Structure 1
Amino acid sequence: MNSLETDGRTLVDHSWDFEKADTKYSNHGFHSYPATMIPQVARRLIEEYGNGSKTLLDPFMGSGTAVLEAKLNPNFEKAYGIDINPLALLVGKVKTTSIDYELLKTTFMDVLNESNNELQQINFMMKNKAPRDVDFFNINYWFKPNVISELAILKNNIDKIENGDKRIERDLKDFFNVVLSEIVRKCSNTRNGEYKLYRLSEEQLKKFNPKPILEFENKGKKNIERMKTFNKECSGCEVDILSEDSRFRTSIMDDSVDLLITSPPYGDSQTTVAYGQFSRLSLQWLGYDKKDVTNIDKMSLGGKKLPQKNMLDSLTLQDIIHKISEKDEKRAKTVLDFYMDFYKCVEEFDRVMKTGSKLCFVVGNRTVKGFKIPTDRILIDLFKQKDDQYRHLETIIRRIPSKRLPKKNSPTNIKGEVGSMMNDEYIVILEKR
């Protein structure tokens, strides 16, 4: 099935599909995120490959699925989650931070009651908008005036949350900012279910009448109940959420990690998953610096267009780059940039992983210029470049029943042309010897 000569086998295993599984149990349902690893996959990887493991690393944390599973597992002492996206860092932190249930309920009612009172006053005075501190380019393009007013009210009341313990105060604000972030996207003029920013049509906008405070109430109640369940189930595992870049030396100690579980970026924000676009409106409402918000996709793997020669020892990669370059040299360079950046991460993983540790990568093989890129095989090649320290144990192929990914993309980057997207995922298991 796999032309690459590897140590391990490659097999299709539908028991990994989890087609009808609840993927939002515990705090996993806090916030949507593009191309998320489902918790069942992370949990099973921990169970099957993490025997005796005490420390877990997810170097491309996203919404924090793997680190949350480590927190729900009684055997882990430490879990690291790394990401460059401020929204991922916020969601990952909130998902894995226990907060007292009664305190959450009391704070929630304070924010909600104050927000509803302010909204009533605005309606009574027949004003179209509330005073707001949030303003950014195109805010009126992406949000209706009444939506801006309600979101501003909610944000101001979250900012007013107080607690004698400043750490708890920060945790409370972060918790409700995650709720607000989800509401921002739901109540924006963007098409539902998209991972990029596309505006609703004028006809759709006429029928679109979201009520942010009501949505905040509904989502807040659900997340508080999830936290109640999480508080009962979570372990003593210490979770460190790191705003760092896995291409460079991180703050994690040498030879300290037992198990790596991650789903790396897909490698092309132009045609596949634009994490920055997905996060932009939320981060702007939450007050993040404009430069941090707009540069996420540029800062991702392969995002910076730097002159660099292919130094990677992968015949599979060389072959696919050659094929793509015959059609489009620029796109071939973009693909190569991604894998060159990924190899920098491989070197950092090698530094922090213990001998005998397992590394589990959940990857998709995307299509560029009509060519399917075998990332699963290229990944094995890149690790084998490390003086044969790594052994390929196996690659499991699973169907993607409901991952937040499009079924079609624009592999040629020409408007109107679409190609099939990733319907399968490849779970590549490696061992450091």
Structure 2
Amino acid sequence: MQSINLTKKFKDTSWDFQKAFTKYSNHGFHTYPAMMIPQITKRLIEMYGNKAKVLLDPFMGSGTALLEATLHDNFKKAYGIDINPLALLISKVKTTPIEPKLLEKEYKNLIENCQEDKKDINFRQKTIEKPNFTNIDFWFKPKVITDLAIIKKNIDQIENKDVKNFFLVAFSETVRNASNTRNNEYKLYRMNESMLKKHNPDTINLFKEKAEENMESMKEYYENYNENCKVHILSEDTRHKTSIQDQEVDLIVTSPPYGDSRTTVAYGQFSRLSLQWLGLNSKDVLNIDRISLGGIPTKDLNNNLKSQTLQETLQKIADNDPIRARDVLSFYEDFDKCVQELHRVTKQGAFICFVVGNRTVKGVQIPTDEIILELFQSRNHYKHHNTFIRNIPHKRMPKLNSPTNISGNHAMTMNEEWIVILEKQ
């Protein structure tokens, strides 16, 4: 195994992009946890992929890397992989150009139909079918449920699938904004009683604002996208063999999960209300975090992972809490399966760019950037170019965690990111 050259690992504030506008083009379509800002992706593409033809983001999330690939002229293909249906929908819509005049026409009809339905319901001339999922009344006020049902019914009547999906993304964002959840949370927490009393959203107006904002963004994207870049959104799992060909990819840009969803970023919880309103099976929605990386803890700490840094870190955590150490191990065992798949699909000479956070568990910081290097280099053929350390001014992330699970005992976590650059030799 090659040793990690620490002189290649250094703080570089030019990667902070502290005051950068991160919602240009279609990047602001929908909030999502731990979104990689487009400026990082753009810079990585320009530094390591200006001649690349095929980009892959194996942990696609909301599709930042794919969207950036379609804004660069050199790419012929961009692959994105995710298991979360909301991520698949957002990424598909962000990277699907739609003629602005068509959107405006469909939007005008949509809003007119919504307003007509609302008027008829107010005068009791018709009723609207509402979804039936657990705790809907806990998360939404009755008036909000009615208005969301009106919007969803009329979006479903749009015949053009791309246009329908476009408005479903704006609808999904409206679901979150109109719900009884606390703002700016990535897990589901209900507002307290005093906040609930003041919470009286104009749901249809919220939808209109979001839809119109996204339509303006689509105008910009429609004029600038690379029509030769074919985007492939894969509802697959990077832990297993994907539909990508052997040695097809020449650039990977990705920000993988920082740990298991239960204790870090709960992508499934974040997506739950939207997906239930979008009509997904409740059992599948509730299962997203469990089937994510590290969702099923290992039975013990025995493992064959070829990372000395990981083994030492696991031992430190186990000295405090063996159960939490098993949680951590389960994540890296799953992650190593992903490394094997990325090894299969990348060409010789491909650059692999990981943007990772080194989280803290039981007071022990886990050096994920070094663990990733060791897992790749255990397969040989990987050169470490650099690891840039940046501050996180933008990410929708927890800045505090409870390292001991004792209420009130908090530590700073994930206020920096490590950008790891590897080349397949």
Q: TM-score, normalised by structure 2?
A: 0.97
Pairing of 1:243-262 with structure 2 (within 5 A): 243-262=235-254
Aligned mates of 1:293, 1:170 — CA distance in 2: 22
Query: In the alignment, residue 207 of structure 2 is paired with which amino acid?
Result: F
Matches within 5 A, 1:289-328: 289-307=281-299, 309-328=302-321
- Matching residue of 2:118: 119
For residues 7 and 403 of structure 1, what CA distance do their matches in structure 2 show? Answer: 26
Find the aligned partners of 1:8 and 1:151 in 2 and give their Cα distance. Answer: 54
Opposite residue 317 of structure 1, the aligned amino acid is L
The percentage of aligned residue pairs carrying the same residue is 58
2:298/2:327 contact within 8 Å kept: no
CA distance in 2, matches of 1:40, 1:104: 28
1:400 alignment partner, one of 392, 398, 411: 392
Counterparts of residues 145-224 of structure 1 (less than 5 Å): 145-162=142-159, 169-224=160-215
- Distance in 1 between the 2:134 and 2:409 partners? 30
* Aligned match of 1:71: 70
Residue 141 (structure 1) aligns with: 138
CA distance in 2, matches of 1:416, 1:124: 51
Native 8 Å contact 1:257 1:353 kept in 2 = yes
How far, CA to CA, are the matches of 1:411 and 1:250 in structure 2?
Answer: 36
- Name the CA distance, whole Å, in 2 between partners of 1:347 and 1:391: 16
The separation in 1 between residues aligned to 2:82 and 2:270, in whole angstroms, is: 15
Residue aligning to 1:47 = 46
Alignment of structure 1 residues 222-301 onto 2, 5 Å: 222-236=213-227, 237-301=229-293
The 8 Å contact of residues 359 and 430 in structure 1, kept in 2 or not, is answered as: yes
- Compute the displacement of 1:126 (Å): 10
> Take 1:152 and 1:410, find their aligned partners in 2: how far apart are those partners?
38
* Contact in 2 for aligned 1:35/1:404 (Cα 8 Å): yes
- Aligned with residue 351 of structure 1, among 336, 344, 351: 344
Q: Does 1:373 align with 2:370?
A: no
In 2, are the aligned partners of 1:8 and 1:392 still within 8 Å (CA)?
no
Q: Is the 8 A contact 1:8 1:393 kept in 2?
A: no
Q: Which residue of 2 aligns with 1:101?
A: 100
Counterpart-to-counterpart distance in 2, 1:171 and 1:368 = 43
Distance 1:412 1:299 in 2: 25
Q: Show CA shifts across 1:296-321 (max 9, x none).
A: 11111110234473111111111110
Matched, 1:416 2:415: no
Secondary structure of the corresponding residue to residue 327 of structure 2: helix
Question: Cα distance, 1:409 vs. partner?
Answer: 1.5
Give, in whole Å, the separation in 1 of the partners of 2:369 and 2:86.
28
SS of aligned partner of 2:280 = coil
Between stretches 409-418 and 177-186, larger displacement belongs to 409-418
CA deviation after TM superposition for structure 1 residue 383, in Å:
0.6
Partners of 1:247 and 1:8 in 2: CA distance = 32
- The secondary structure found in structure 2 opposite 1:182 is helix
Once the two structures are TM-superposed, the CA of residue 131 in structure 1 deviates from its matched residue by 1.9
CA apart distance, 1:269 = 2.0
The question of whether the paired residues in 1 share the 8 Å contact of 2:54 and 2:250 is answered with yes
Contact 1:255/1:355 (8 A) holds in 2: yes
Q: Deviations over 1:317-351 (max 9, x none)?
A: 11110011111111000100100110000000000
Q: CA deviation at 1:80?
A: 0.1
Q: 1:21-71, CA deviations, whole angstroms, 9 ceiling, x for partnerless residues?
A: 110000001000000000000000000011310000000000000000001
Which residue identity is paired with 1:208?
H
Using the size of structure 1 for normalisation, the TM-score is: 0.95
Secondary structure class of the residue paired with 2:355: strand
CA distance in 1, matches of 2:5, 2:223: 43
1:122 Cα shift? 2.2
Report the Cα distance in structure 1 between the residues aligned to 2:407 and 2:140, rounded to whole angstroms.
26
What CA distance in whole angstroms lies between the structure 1 residues aligned with 2:162 and 2:140?
Answer: 28
5+ long unaligned stretches in structure 2: none
Distance 1:8 1:118 in 2: 65
Deviations 1:98-122 (A, max 9, x none): 1111111111111111111211222
In the aligned structure 1, how far is the partner of 2:27 from the partner of 2:65?
10
- Would you say the 8 A contact 2:57–2:66 is kept in 1? yes
Check whether the contact 2:69–2:78 (CA below 8 A) recurs between aligned residues.
Answer: yes
The secondary structure found in structure 2 opposite 1:29 is coil
SS at match of 2:26: helix
Dislocated runs of 4+, deviation >6 Å = none
Q: Secondary structure at the match of 1:393?
A: strand
Q: SS state of the match for residue 312, structure 2? A: helix
Assess if the C-alpha contact under 8 Å between 2:261 and 2:294 holds in 1.
Answer: no
Q: Secondary structure at the match of 1:430?
A: strand
Are the aligned partners of 1:271 and 1:410 in contact in 2 as well (CA < 8 Å)? no
